[in-house]
Structure 1
Amino acid sequence: MCGITGIFDTRGRSSIDRAVLTRMNEAQHHRGPDEGGLHVEPGVGLGHRRLSIIDLSTGQQPLYNEDGSVCVVYNGEIYNYLELIPELQALGHVFHTRSDTEVIVHAWEAWGEASVQRFRGMFAFALWDRNRETLFLARDRLGVKPLHYALLPDGTLLFGSELKSLLAHGGLRKDVDPLAVEEYFALGYVAEPRTIFMQARKLPPASTLLIKRGQAVGEPREYWDVNFTVDSRIDEAQAREELTERLKESIRLRLMSEVPLGAFLSGGVDSSAVVALMAGLSDDPVNTCSIAFTDPAFNESEFAKKVAARYNTNHYVDVVESEDFDLIDTLASLYDEPYADSSAIPTYRVCQLARRHVTVALSGDGGDESFGGYRRYRLHMMEEQMRSMLPHGIRRPVFGLLGRLYPKADWAPRFLRAKTTFEGMARTPVEAYFHSVSILRGPMRDKLFSDRFKREIAGYDAREVFERHAARAGTDDPLALIQYLDLKTYLVGDINTKVDKASMAHSLEVREPLMDHPLIEWLATLPSSFKLRGREGKYLLKKTMEPLLPEDVLYRPKMGFAVPLARWFRGPLKERVRDAMLGARLADTGWFDRAYLQHLVDAHQSGARDYSASLWTLLMFEAFLRNVLDGSPAKASGAQLASPVMP
């Protein structure tokens, strides 16, 4: 895997400061420690840090076409590049390397913007065509690889794999986008296309951005979307057979490597399925890496050992202590913007372990979204059955009133906790799903934010992210709708962000066979009953894997990749949490209601409520303020809240 960065004068041919470009490039040294390269000409500068995986001897970047007029810097893997080479050679293109990178420049010459539709893999790249005076940015369909960009007031366009490369330029202002803050406290991440900074944007998944010198920078153009038709008439036996072949093909493509390769093995269904199929495709034992926790409530390592023993893998295990909370500031600096998924801690550790043994690791990420594995899917579908009994025009006023009047009774037996059910019945399906995945739900955010902050966001609600995607989902199937929402939001903003940053921190390439876009497209045609059947999620995947995996791996309750936050915040992190919540850094922003912060801390630490997720979200925001906003290279005396800009 690699890191890319660059500077483009959209208005002319001003000279590019090579020292500045070098600084931007070196800010991402961890993404590619093997080699670095620059391309500089009037008005254009491209930078690349390389982690060598394929074509170790001749795959250096920037890479050029035959006459040097087209130049590319690229991060990722195009798995079907060997199929594209003869097609491009037949069109007259001459190849000088054996790398997938060179396919990009010739594909651009042959097919222009449509070239990205021919690529199968994970990628983010920037291509400069001198003859057309055009810069072309592109990102893969599922958003596995990141790409950020910012247009400065003088017409300079900055771009990079990570925000830290843009910040290293020195011209990007650290004005915080208040709408991004609202999204963060709802979702735990800043949703595409926003970043935490007003001037910067993320290029959305499955999008390109074409900029011609001398013309205004337009909006990204989407080149792909998943279409949930759920109309396939295939029977279950045929579906299991086809799924097996599709998974094998996806994994086989991702085994190409000239460096050591292995897999993550958590003991869950997805990673175990990947390892089982890898073992059948490999002549040598698979290298597998697992994390074990000293806290048994979070430890899946015994199930991982079962799978490793069954397939005779070279199995490596690291034990993570239950008090492994020293990464808070490291993670804040690593992620560049607020990020609140606490599983970033074990993910960081398993990447650290894997890199000691391999350079490439396959993961099971993406399986829950496409196969219907999240527990929240089952709960949402149960609510949907109830909502379908009454029109929304009746449900909203009646159950909305009941939800407001009924007391919140977390202490009571589950059958008496009706407040959440009443509230859910009053909502639309999209509102209900957004509510279910929110870390701090609407009423909590209303109490958390100060009056000043509420004026700044001018009524904006992060729910609009979901509403925007739902309007384009093109399906009225209730399960397909929330799968689509997760593919557009949670998978990209949370899962892929977490894995990219954690793996790149250790110069490890992670490949996701369950995110192969032809596989995603095919699964979207299958009836929802193949994904969620009764109370069983991932129904088809589990049935398909029954001959290959132990029953207790397939059918035990889902555990997740979590850490004991609730206990930390009442124990070893008690004072740190109190200091962060009630200290000067959060107070200086003027964005939060101090009395509510006091309530969150006191209620959690007394044991009256479990506010661990909310406190972690605030703790990571405070760490972002200290480590990124107040940090180099453009040190700020305090967080500056900028005026909101609507999407």
Structure 2
Amino acid sequence: MPEAASRWTTSGSSSGAPRVAPDQALDPFGAHAVYALRLDGRAHTAADPRALRHLPGAPRGVDPAALHGYLCFSHPPDPRTLFAGVERVPAPAPWAERPAPADEGSAVRTLRALLAASVARMLGAERDVGVYLSGGLDSSLVAALLARAGARVHLFSLDFGAPWDAELEHARAVADHLGRPLHRVRARPRDVSRALEPTAAALHQPFGDPVTVPLFLLGQAARDHVASVFNGEGGDQLFGGWATKPMLAAEAYGGAGYSREAAYLATYHRFYGVEDQLLTPAARAAIGTMDAGAWLRPALDAPGLPTLLHRLRAANLRLKGAQNIAPRMAQLAAVHGLQARAPFFDTALAEWTFTLPADFFLRGASEKHLLKRAAQGLLPPVLIDRPKRGMGVPATEWLRGWMSPLRWEAARRLSARRLRRDGWFRPEYVAALRRGDDHPGETRRRRAGEKLWALLMLHLWLDAQDPPLDWRIS
């Protein structure tokens, strides 16, 4: 049993339903989850699903439906895990739409107060804390609020190297504004290659976004300076960030045959819709008729949320926040002995935002309108009003660079021989991704690299499991 597993505990219930221990209160934002496995009429729970695999009689295989979910979402969607028989206990969603009279000026003041309270609560008595600073609005605002609360902030920003380091100048501007030095954390192909295996080993479940390993590198750098790290995660999901506009446009102009579920799945840019090209006939048979849209309906059609924008926000909080961003954040910090803190993932703040009218979030073409108003006076205007760029991880260039060690890592982990042996993925399709080719309708070259990265991280995670998973299709 891995050394870390000795800290994990399980509990049983003869009723067959998962029983959550008092110290395992469910986190609505998903950073800390509870997993359950039923064996011989008893339900065992653990904070890490890998602990449950060491129970006598625990299944050794993978869950094909969870694999299908991973290929669509870049993570196994709740309640599935890749471990056959192990489920993540769904966390409650404590928010519902409760419209209330809203004056924008008072809403700005309330938002500032709620954010300051969330930062103060998470800060506690600490004074030296880290901030993962992207240069964007959300992490910059968290850093400014921490500084205003009296914290000595240590700022860490990723350096991908030219020409992919455009966000660094904005991170430097924030650091200068706060009068704090900026730690540049190298995330070049060789740095990322060295961190692949320890990143995969740190994860309870695979996360296929290219930013996963760079986040590991940030924690590796921060652990020498602080015991906890703050970030701006959750800001986009909570305040209707850049991904909301395409969904609203699709809803308005989708025309005949439009499907909200299909449009939402398309925002992940993974393998939804191209399963026939990727999967072998044996894999398709193993997955069966699993409908990926079934994971979306409870969020997209949530009762009590009649406004589409609020339904999209709730779906993003649950699907992209609680099932991907928050658990990945917590696990990649914990492996370095760090506590991860995200002030936007705050229940009081989230509940309050669902009382607001839609135009407080999207005003014309400007997203996160209210948050930008709240940031005025805390950050320079140029940092508030600049267009959203996001963390542009150059996965395609990393995986295709002739001298890049990541190219050779992909060749080794995703070799045609291995793919044929395991029986899940068509070698010719994966080879096309390795050449940088994608389906004809995809015009953005980066998507091929994102898909290939998801497959690489899946195989790295599979290789890290002890005992090994029964992965091959017989």
Same fold (TM > 0.5)? yes
SS of the aligned residue for 1:317 comes to: strand
Structure 1 counterpart of 2:270, one-letter code: I
Deviations 1:536-572 (A, max 9, x none): 1111111121211112211222222342111122212
C-alpha separation in 2, matches of 1:194 and 1:431: 20
In structure 1, the partner of 2:120 is 252
SS of the aligned residue for 1:332 comes to: helix
Shift of 1:520: 0.3
Residues 384-463 of structure 1 mapped to structure 2, 5 A cutoff: 384-387=251-254, 395-396=256-257, 427-442=258-273, 444-463=274-293
- Alignment match of 1:588 (pick from 411, 417, 421): 421
8 A Cα contact 1:266 1:300, kept in partner: yes
In structure 2, the partner of 1:616 is 453
8 A Cα contact 1:285 1:312, kept in partner: no
In structure 1, the partner of 2:462 is 625
Structure 2 counterpart of 1:318, one-letter code: V
Structure 2 counterpart of 1:150, one-letter code: L
C-alpha separation in 1, matches of 2:128 and 2:386: 32
8 A Cα contact 1:226 1:521, kept in partner: yes
SS of the aligned residue for 1:472 comes to: coil
Structure 2 counterpart of 1:228, one-letter code: E
The answer to whether residue 56 in structure 2 is matched with residue 226 in structure 1 is: no
SS of the aligned residue for 2:36 comes to: strand
SS of the aligned residue for 2:302 comes to: coil
In structure 2, the partner of 1:6 is 9
Shift of 1:311: 2.2
The answer to whether residue 370 in structure 2 is matched with residue 502 in structure 1 is: no
SS of the aligned residue for 1:190 comes to: coil
In structure 2, the partner of 1:270 is 138
Gap runs ≥5 in structure 2: none
The answer to whether residue 83 in structure 2 is matched with residue 197 in structure 1 is: yes
SS of the aligned residue for 1:7 comes to: coil
Higher share of residues assigned strand: 1
Moved over 4 A (4+): 168-171, 607-610
C-alpha separation in 2, matches of 1:286 and 1:567: 33
1:274–1:498 Cα change, 3 Å: same
Shift of 1:259: 7.6
Residues 152-551 of structure 1 mapped to structure 2, 5 A cutoff: 152-153=39-40, 155=41, 157-169=43-55, 171-206=57-92, 224-229=93-98, 231-257=99-125, 260-282=128-150, 285-313=152-180, 315-326=182-193, 327-373=195-241, 375-387=242-254, 395-396=256-257, 427-442=258-273, 444-551=274-381
C-alpha separation in 1, matches of 2:67 and 2:118: 37
Deviations 1:31-68 (A, max 9, x none): xxxxxxxxxxxxxxxxxxxxxxxxxxxxxxxxxxxxxx
Residues 17-36 of structure 1 mapped to structure 2, 5 A cutoff: none
The answer to whether residue 466 in structure 2 is matched with residue 639 in structure 1 is: no
TM-score, length basis structure 2: 0.89
C-alpha separation in 2, matches of 1:275 and 1:193: 34
Shift of 1:9: 4.6
Shift of 1:362: 2.0
8 A Cα contact 2:31 2:328, kept in partner: no
1:554–1:596 Cα change, 3 Å: same
Structure 2 counterpart of 1:249, one-letter code: A
Deviations 1:76-109 (A, max 9, x none): xxxxxxxxxxxxxxxxxxxxxxxxxxxxxxxxxx
1:641–1:260 Cα change, 3 Å: farther
SS of the aligned residue for 2:37 comes to: strand
Larger Rg over CA atoms: 1
Identity %: 27
- Paired residue total: 458
Shift of 1:366: 0.7
1:302–1:201 Cα change, 3 Å: same
CA RMSD of aligned residues (A): 2.7
Shift of 1:452: 1.6
The answer to whether residue 35 in structure 2 is matched with residue 148 in structure 1 is: yes
1:558–1:258 Cα change, 3 Å: closer
8 A Cα contact 2:419 2:426, kept in partner: no
C-alpha separation in 2, matches of 1:304 and 1:381: 30
Greater RCO (Cα-Cα under 8 Å, separation 6 or more): 2
8 A Cα contact 2:462 2:468, kept in partner: no
SS of the aligned residue for 2:329 comes to: helix
SS of the aligned residue for 2:186 comes to: strand
C-alpha separation in 2, matches of 1:318 and 1:233: 45
Structure 1 counterpart of 2:452, one-letter code: L
